[in-house]
Structure 1
Amino acid sequence: MALGAGPALAKKQLVIVVKGLDNPFFEAIHQGCEKWNKENASSDYECFYTGPASTSDEAGEAQIVQDMLGRADTAAMAISPSNAKLIAQTLKVASPSIPIMTIDADLAKEDADLRKTYLGTDNYLMGKKIGEYIKQQKPKGGTICTIEGNPGADNILRRAQGMRDALSGQEGLSALAGEGGWTEVSGCPVFTNDDGAKGVQAMTDILAANPKLDAFGIMGGWPLFGAPQPYRDLMKPYADRIASGDFVVGAADTIGDEVAIAGEGLVTALVGQRPFEMGYKAPSVMIDLIDGKTVEDPVFTGLDECTKDTVDTCIQK
């Protein structure tokens, strides 16, 4: 169902609110939600997918959460917070009586008691694996730029922390300034609001200012799946350096053109999530919460790792 259409009143709604409808990653969650609906047509519940038109509309997502909480037919809600603090504040004000969980992105640790569980990727581990791939290619370190999404997105911040910890050999650094041999260049991290074109432009600008840059750590696949041809055009001159390990690009996700780009040798490694599985599992988890059953916290959905040599087998079927 499209945003604004309004769910049918005949069934109780298991609402999934994502950061934005313009992102292929969230469309995969939508497809998982719809598969659950098809397999559970006789259920008293229906999975209802919604979100703001754009991932940059943090206030719009908070408003949708507030509006859906005000509906009598909303039985439970799974939220992917674009701005963790804003969504936490929305929940505090609304004080919902229905079960709330997070999906894909979590609330900050201090606000975790506002939701029953988190379903999705172990984002710290994801970032750590990206860092390990980068470090494997350049064990002595170098210069790096981190590409991030929304500054308030907890999942992206956790990935960046995992990557920095892997590269530095330390824990909790907010930036790299020589630790483990790695230094983040001026102007980084870059926040792109999950916009692929902005991501490619940011990478272009960083490379122009730092022609000897050693690595990119891309915490979401936006430049690759959101602007695949501009990304290819930017990276093709670096293909030989990527192949030799002299220039390293570690990126999140394995959706859209990303795996093909890995096969073309234009990214060193991808660490992917399983968004379809998130959308498919979320309704069942919400029903368990409604029924008062014990649900683990967190519920992780696993990772897929792709390099040029593994593209034919790297995605779990």
Structure 2
Amino acid sequence: MKKSVLMVVGAALAALLAVAPAMAQKKTLAVVVKGLDNPFFTVLGDGCALWNKENPSSEYTCLYTGPASSADEAGEIQIVEDLINKGVAGIAISPSNAPAMATMLKAKNPKMPIMTIDADLAAADRAQRKTYLGTNNYDMGVLMAKHLKQLNAKGGTVCMQLGNVAADNINARAAGFRDTISGKKGIDRLKGEGGWTEIAGCPLFTNDQIDLANQQMSDVFTKNPKLNAFILVGGWAQFGPQAYAQVTDQVMPKLKSKELIIVAGDTLPPQLDALKAGRSHVQIGQRPFEMGRRAPAVLIDLISGKKVEDPLFTGLDECVPGNLDKCPAK
């Protein structure tokens, strides 16, 4: 009798031990970025990792993921679709191709909360997500234009370097820049408005590729020796500091005299080094670490049914040579 009881207890204990890991398994809050090859998103991922470290007893864990290459739009969409199929607790997405991502979300009609981070869906598709956490991208473009005006009040020729053709955040920055530099709303291309003209062949589209961004800059500088301004709407070329240094070497005299102005997005350490070295004049910084650190809490609030504001802006930093000791804000 004793032996049979012990066998039953032993079997029950074994079953309990087998179930324990499953019971302890945390629910996933996924943060899906455009590409793991982009240093900007590495910083965002660091924020996600810190949230995990700060919340060890949470029933949730933050998973930072995305396609290996920022050029892999289809790969990002597939990752999100797979996460939906797996039934994760919530997903924060930085959509590379906003219309295509929205189409997939409409088709899948996911039950878990979906939010956007860093980049939003197009205005017409925003019912597919609960909120947006990140930069006010239109305002980022506005600041780029304001700083250019301060450095060159006369105007001239300009080339903008953008990312993906269908990235809503990048297009919003371009709109903010054009509207502000021209003094008119809804300008698709600068043709003398506000004294500024976009040169032939611009804007450029990097598809978020660092090497392509630097090659494009080099080609523009070579073909347009009288160019007055180059606007990196995102930091792509500067994410390859050695290549960027080589590209800007060919125009350093013009940068020093401010005959050519470079205004760029983001304030990662290599970019601040470039600013300090005179390889740019202004860096408008986003706050990717804050985005990654806040995203899990926002998703948990959405899961809990709490009211969450839309949008949730993370702020901007305006870094110039004169304030490098305290920029970006900590």
Q: Aligned residues: percent identity?
A: 52
> Which has the larger share of helix?
2
Which has the larger Rg? 2
- SS of 1:64's partner is helix
Matches within 5 A, 1:204-283: 204-225=218-239, 227-283=240-296
> Which amino acid is 1:133 matched to?
H
CA distance in 1, matches of 2:243, 2:39: 17
CA distance in 1, matches of 2:129, 2:34: 17
Q: Encode CA deviations 1:133-155: one digit per residue, 9 max, x unaligned.
A: 11111112100000001111100
Q: Encode CA deviations 1:87-136: one digit per residue, 9 max, x unaligned.
A: 10010011011111000000000001111100000000011101111111
CA separation of 1:239/1:277 partners in 2, compared to 1, >3 Å: closer, same or farther? same
CA distance in 2, matches of 1:196, 1:22: 9
Query: Post-superposition shift, 1:207?
Result: 1.4
> Which amino acid is 1:175 matched to?
R
- SS of 1:68's partner is helix
Q: Is the 8 A contact 1:143 1:184 kept in 2?
A: yes
Q: Is the 8 A contact 2:221 2:251 kept in 1?
A: no
CA distance in 2, matches of 1:238, 1:307: 19
Matches within 5 A, 1:11-160: 11-72=26-87, 74-160=88-174
Matched pairs, number: 308
Q: Is the 8 A contact 1:137 1:246 kept in 2?
A: no
Q: Is the 8 A contact 1:304 1:316 kept in 2?
A: yes
CA distance in 1, matches of 2:252, 2:221: 14
- SS of 1:116's partner is coil
CA separation of 1:168/1:9 partners in 2, compared to 1, >3 Å: closer, same or farther? farther
- SS of 1:129's partner is helix
Per the normalisation by structure 1, the TM-score is 0.95
User: What does residue 20 of structure 2 align with?
Assistant: none
> Which amino acid is 2:318 matched to?
E
- SS of 1:81's partner is coil
Q: Is the 8 A contact 2:318 2:328 kept in 1?
A: yes
Q: Is the 8 A contact 1:263 1:309 kept in 2?
A: no
CA distance in 2, matches of 1:70, 1:286: 18
CA distance in 1, matches of 2:238, 2:323: 18
CA distance in 2, matches of 1:194, 1:174: 22
1:309 to 302, 307, 322: 322
User: What does residue 3 of structure 1 align with?
Assistant: none
CA distance in 2, matches of 1:303, 1:103: 15
Q: Encode CA deviations 1:43-82: one digit per residue, 9 max, x unaligned.
A: 111101110010000000000010000113x011100000
CA distance in 2, matches of 1:92, 1:162: 29
2:193 to 175, 179, 182: 179
Query: Post-superposition shift, 1:236?
Result: 2.8
Q: Is the 8 A contact 2:98 2:121 kept in 1?
A: yes
1:298 partnered with 2:311: yes
CA distance in 1, matches of 2:25, 2:35: 26
CA distance in 1, matches of 2:66, 2:298: 20
> Which amino acid is 1:143 matched to?
T
Query: Post-superposition shift, 1:9?
Result: 8.2
- SS of 1:310's partner is helix
2:302 to 268, 278, 289: 289
Q: Encode CA deviations 1:263-298: one digit per residue, 9 max, x unaligned.
A: 011101000100000000000000000011111111
CA distance in 2, matches of 1:228, 1:9: 44
Instruction: Mark the runs of 5 or more structure 2 residues left unpaired by the alignment.
Output: 1-22
2:207 to 158, 183, 193: 193
Instruction: Mark the runs of 5 or more structure 1 residues left unpaired by the alignment.
Output: 1-7
Superposed structure 1 runs of 4+ greater than 2 Å apart: 236-245
CA distance in 2, matches of 1:64, 1:71: 11
Q: RMSD of aligned C-alpha atoms?
A: 1.2
> Which amino acid is 1:82 matched to?
S
Q: Is the 8 A contact 1:151 1:191 kept in 2?
A: yes
